[in-house]
Structure 1
């Protein structure tokens, strides 16, 4: 069994985290499969503070805080956010300069099997130095911001997701579902990913 930690923060895009949460949460157990003796993934959420106020006012109680949670095999960093009229950043654009979050990402990445980002979650990975010398993607409306956050990264705006081995980034919002299904297929086999997508009634990018 692998553990999946999904980072939460204020102004997070709901589908950015809920999509991967659903995929990993139902993978391998959504259609009565008997090939696994236990669910292949356990998913939990982590945040610096609680509760978290997501986009459109959704209130979320994270499972754990950043300073006290089980070891994670897979880290998911979602996106969401922007700038207030006065230029103050919020969401991922604020967290990409939050030393607490950046330190957590760096430290967690050292022992994690995989590090994933959705949408502008790639800004956080970029600021943490995890994308240096790699290729990455993000939301199509955030390419300029990505270049600033990760100047030493090859940006691939046309890609739905980009696999660097340990680090995988996805494009905007719903692309996190496709990336997560891809990861399920990479780890457990394409048949499991296909069964998961069929259960979710989701036609995913392959």
Structure 2
């Protein structure tokens, strides 16, 4: 049995210039496929301004809402990608994130670094991408402590700490989104969505290998 709700769940996926397309697929793509078994679930994309957003890799997407018009969502997911470096110093992004607490805030991949800069990870445990890639001198997980006060970095697939859910790197965006669906609709719904996207074995394997840390 799926957990019943009086209204559809609304997932807000927060994007910006330089987001990796895989983070869009791992969030919006999963929610889109989830509608096969959860027809009431909905998702919107949110950016500083509605309209075109240039992603990493030369792709462009359309954000449905700007910060000023963004609806209240059951969860807001901050995506990751090389553009995080600009976002950690962007007052509009950081203010938007703060404005959506104490509601559920989540991140995938390097989106956690933006959460850290916003101050919402202070005193929390969190995860992000564990390895440096290409010319990066430091792994994102090692950068987290410099962006938040009294933060405990955890090398895990998913960390949940008092309403803050952070997911690991790159394709683990899929795992984090499935986890959030389970948080809203229950584990049976999560598992059914995982089967729909042919990810049930991968989800179980990632959980066994990397762990889900709940605090």
TM-score of the aligned structures, taking structure 1 as reference length: 0.85
Aligned length: 187
Where in structure 2 are the equivalents of 1:116-135 lying within 5 Å? 116-135=106-125
Residue 19 (structure 1) aligns with = 26
Give the SS at the match of 1:61: strand
Residue 4 (structure 1) aligns with = 11
Question: Quick one: distance in 1 between partners of 2:100 and 2:177?
Answer: 19
Residue 141 (structure 2) aligns with = 143
1:107 matches 2:114: no
1:176 matches 2:173: yes
Please report how far the alpha carbon of residue 148 of structure 1 lies from its aligned counterpart in structure 2 after TM superposition: 1.4
Aligned-pair RMSD on alpha carbons?
A: 1.5
Question: Quick one: distance in 2 between partners of 1:106 and 1:183?
Answer: 20
Where in structure 2 are the equivalents of 1:60-75 lying within 5 Å? 60-75=61-76
More divergent stretch after superposition (192-201 vs 137-146): 137-146
Question: Quick one: distance in 2 between partners of 1:61 and 1:183?
Answer: 23
Contact 1:5 1:75 survives alignment (8 Å): yes
Question: Quick one: distance in 2 between partners of 1:61 and 1:47?
Answer: 9
Question: Quick one: distance in 1 between partners of 2:157 and 2:28?
Answer: 18
Please report how far the alpha carbon of residue 167 of structure 1 lies from its aligned counterpart in structure 2 after TM superposition: 0.5
Where in structure 2 are the equivalents of 1:142-161 lying within 5 Å? 142-157=140-155, 159-161=156-158
Please report how far the alpha carbon of residue 147 of structure 1 lies from its aligned counterpart in structure 2 after TM superposition: 2.1
Question: Quick one: distance in 2 between partners of 1:193 and 1:199?
Answer: 10
Please report how far the alpha carbon of residue 109 of structure 1 lies from its aligned counterpart in structure 2 after TM superposition: 2.2
Contact 1:75 1:109 survives alignment (8 Å): no
Contact 2:9 2:184 survives alignment (8 Å): no
Segments of 5+ residues of structure 1 without an aligned counterpart are 82-90
Please report how far the alpha carbon of residue 73 of structure 1 lies from its aligned counterpart in structure 2 after TM superposition: 1.7
Question: Quick one: distance in 1 between partners of 2:149 and 2:24?
Answer: 25
1:191 matches 2:188: yes
Please report how far the alpha carbon of residue 22 of structure 1 lies from its aligned counterpart in structure 2 after TM superposition: 2.0
